[in-house]
Amino acid sequence: MAGLTNRGKYLLLSEFFRNPTEFTNLYVALCTSAAAPTADTNTFSELTEITAGNGYTAGGISLSRNGTDFDVLTEDDATDRGYIQIRDLVWTASGGDLPSSGSGARYAILTDDNGTQGSRQIIAYWDLTSDRTVSTGQTLTLTNCELRLNES
């Protein structure tokens, strides 16, 4: 029987998210509920990004592959997993509601940095549980978005 050790999970996460040899940056973008991401979603073009403007930039927030933007990396022997967390991400509505039109942000997605946004690969996603809209001066904050490696 083969299996990954907890150290192996830790090292895989560390190498992917903190070693900038594969690609330089990652992005966290916000998408609507028009199409829900699944384990089979491959590229950004399969989803509908929220409308840019009023504090949101098309393509999302850029993250460097390092220990600042991926600020928590843990080997957890008690639960046999490794996990990594992204620093807090904040969008502040300015000049109107964020998003500027539509029903709101339902999903956050983690992508690579392909220059063509529609071709960016989807690495992970988080369900925000409902459509999120914030008014001018308010913030939409994602705290401790976590990725886990487990064995089943």
Q: Whole-angstrom Cα distance, residue 94 to residue 113?
A: 26
| 18-45 pLDDT per residue, tens | 876 677 899 999 999 999 998 889 999 9
Given a cut of 80, is residue 2 above it in pLDDT? no
Q: Whole-angstrom Cα distance, residue 32 to residue 93?
A: 17
Q: Rounded to two decimals, what is the model's pTM? A: 0.89
Mean per-residue pLDDT for 107-125?
91
Nearest Cα to Cα of residue 92 among 133, 140, 144: 140
Phi, psi (5° rounding) for residue 113? -110, 30
Confidence band, pLDDT 50/70/90 cuts, at residue 56:
very high
Higher pLDDT, residue 149 or 126: 126
Confidence band, pLDDT 50/70/90 cuts, at residue 142:
very high
Q: Are 27 and 86 in contact, with CB atoms under 8 Å apart?
A: no
Mean per-residue pLDDT for 85-92?
97
Phi, psi (5° rounding) for residue 27? -130, 145
Q: Whole-angstrom Cα distance, residue 133 to residue 54?
A: 11
- The type of residue at 122 is I
